[in-house]
Amino acid sequence: MPTPDLTPEAFARARAFLERQGRPLDLARFRHAFEGAERAEVLDALRAYQNDDGGFGRALEPDCRAPDSSVLATMMALRVLRELAVPADEPLLTAASEWLRAQLHTTLDGSVWPFLPPQAEAHAHAPWWNQAGDDELARTFGGFRVNPRAELVGRLWHWPELLSGGLLAQLTTETRDALLAGLDEGDVNGHAAAAVFAGTPEVPEDHRLPVLEYLADVLPGRVQTTPDAFAERGLNPLMVAPTPDHPLAHALEGPLSAALLHLIMSQAQDGSWGPNWNWSGQFPADWPAAETEWRSDLTVDALLTLRAWGRLEKNQL
């Protein structure tokens, strides 16, 4: 029996949710992707999250409510800029890349980007962003050797001229070596970051292909495969192969088919898709706003994913 596509009625409910409760950024992303709105509208909305220092903050990543610039929020901005395929001279991008270069910390393992500045601890955030203890955040994220470095290096290869002087090549070598040392099976976002690195064709093949081979070998035994698993926080195969042209898609055909069906069936009655995590126990007054913002972001992501996989019924915008 063929699996269903997202119906026009369900698509309309998603649009209505974004119009009613979506962030301006996500509504602009939707209108650009599905209704032909100008890219400038998305850039204008994204600009509201950029600070004077060039970095992004202001809860662009909803699980960290700090206004300060952070690598976490700036990485989210790069995702949007890549989605828009902006040129390397886009001012939001050039300012962000200069800020990122200034945030590199050199360790015995090379140069890494810490996710958050220390002052973010004073603002509401998810518990995995806690940094009350010495080096707590670095311990949580393995010294940042894989996450966020692998994703950031992969993204920056779309605009290699932004990091001159051999820095991008150095970071690429260090990232490859960290990934080939092996990923912890439970490192959900580490696998997703590695998949960005391995799935970016601009990354030189001698660095990218060994990582791709490693991931193709381990991922079939690590990704979620059942509806009960998809409902929990874990390594959803769509996190590593969000489009059918990703080079890991062929290794995950069965899990991806199941994940796409679950994505279609898990749309909420209000038309949104929501997070499968919750940190209301740590900051109960702040979680509702963060959850709504995540629903906004995830709803656009879901629609883009379903379109990429050809899972929107015909006659939809």
Would you say residue 315 lies in a domain?
Answer: no
Residue type, 215: L
Would you say residue 317 lies in a domain?
Answer: no
Domain of residue 136, CATH code: 1.50.10
State what percent of residues in the chain have pLDDT above 90. Answer: 95
Q: Which domain holds residue 177?
A: 8-308
pTM summary value: 0.97
User: How many structural domains are present in the chain?
Assistant: 1
Q: How far apart are CA 111 and CA 191, in angstroms?
A: 20
Would you say residue 110 lies in a domain?
Answer: yes
Band of residue 2 on the pLDDT scale cut at 50, 70, 90? low
Of the candidates 168, 146, 283, 166, the one whose C-alpha atom is nearest the C-alpha of residue 215 is 146
Of the candidates 189, 187, 223, 158, the one whose C-alpha atom is nearest the C-alpha of residue 72 is 189
Residue 308 φ/ψ region, left for φ over 0, alpha for ψ in the -120 to 50 degree band, beta for the rest:
alpha
Higher per-residue confidence, 316 vs 268: 268
Please answer whether residues 218 and 253 qualify as being in contact, where contact means their C-beta atoms are separated by less than 8 angstroms: no
Main-chain phi, psi angles of 158, to 5 degrees:
-70, -25
Would you say residue 78 lies in a domain?
Answer: yes
Reply yes or no: is the peptide bond before residue 148 cis, omega within 30 of 0: yes
In the structure encoding, which two tokens stand for residue 46, read together?
Answer: 């994204």
The pLDDT tens digits of the residues spanning 66-121 come to: 999 999 999 999 999 999 999 999 999 999 999 999 999 998 879 999 999 999 99
Q: How far apart are CA 142 and CA 187, in angstroms?
A: 10
Residue type, 230: F
Task: State the DSSP H helix or E strand holding residue 98, giving kind and residue range, or none if neither.
Answer: helix 91-103
* Mean of all residue pLDDT scores within the chain: 97
Would you say residue 289 lies in a domain?
Answer: yes
3 state DSSP class of 5: coil
Q: How far apart are CA 199 and CA 206, in angstroms?
A: 13
Task: State the DSSP H helix or E strand holding residue 170, giving kind and residue range, or none if neither.
Answer: helix 167-180
Residue 305: the pLDDT is 98
DSSP state of 152: H
Between strands 105-107 and 110-112, the pairing is: antiparallel
Greatest CA separation found in the chain?
A: 56
Of the candidates 275, 209, 310, the one whose C-alpha atom is nearest the C-alpha of residue 6 is 310
Contacts of 21 (CB under 8 A, 6+ apart): 270, 272, 292, 295, 296
Instruction: From residue 154, give the alpha-carbon distance in Å to each of 89, 98, 248, 314.
Output: 18, 17, 15, 33
β-partners of residue 56 are: 50
Residue 1: the pLDDT is 47
Residue 145 in this model has a pLDDT that exceeds 60: yes
Residue 109: the pLDDT is 77
